[in-house]
């Protein structure tokens, strides 16, 4: 039931783009995205709801494909501050988080 994230890790240069995928074996109703920097608490990025409602954050956007049971997080023109571990969370009575994708942005 835990969502599967891919890739597990990404290394980028500043200004490059990245995509993080989150797949579920069950139907999606809402997907939450959080970012956690090393040694810090997770911080909310956005929620995607069935029906298309979306919230954005900085230059980070996301898509929600109900048919594919998948959500993707898009980070454009990445900045050093984007480094951290990104978690998707699927709502199934409670929020179930994926294993995380570690993003490292280098100068």
Q: DSSP letter for 62, please.
A: E
Q: How far is CA 56 from CA 9, 13, 44, 53, 73, in A?
A: 22, 22, 11, 10, 10
- One residue of 10, 84, 87, 105 binding other proteins per CB under 8 A: 87
Least distance from C-beta 106 to other proteins, angstroms?
A: 22
Closer CB to other proteins, residue 70 or residue 101? 101
Among 1, 13, 38, 41, binds other proteins (CB under 8 A): 41
Interaction between residue 69 and other proteins (CB under 8 A): no
Under 8 Å between Cβ of 103 and 85:
yes
Rounded to whole angstroms, the Cα distance separating 55 from 5 reads: 20
From 38, 40, 67, 107, residue interacting with other proteins (rule: CB under 8 A): 40
Look up residue 24 and give its two tokens. Answer: 């579920």
Residue placing its CB nearer to other proteins in the complex, 81 or 99: 99
Smallest gap from Cβ 88 to other proteins, in A, equals 9
The string of DSSP codes covering 19-32 is: EEEEE-SS--SEEE
The residues that touch other proteins, with contacts defined as CB under 8 A, are 2, 30, 32, 40-44, 47, 49, 87, 89, 91, 93-100
């Amino acid at each position: 039931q835990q969502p599967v994230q891919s890739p597990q890790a990404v290394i980028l240069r500043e200004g490059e783009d990245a995509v993080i995928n989150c797949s579920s074996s069950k139907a999606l109703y809402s997907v939450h995205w959080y970012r956690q920097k090393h040694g810090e608490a997770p911080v909310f990025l956005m929620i995607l709801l069935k029906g298309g409602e979306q919230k954005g954050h900085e230059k980070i956007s996301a898509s929600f494909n109900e048919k594919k049971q998948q959500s993707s997080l898009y980070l454009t023109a990445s900045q050093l501050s984007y480094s951290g571990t990104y978690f998707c969370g699927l709502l199934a009575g409670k929020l179930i988080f994926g294993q995380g994708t570690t993003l490292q942005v280098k100068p």
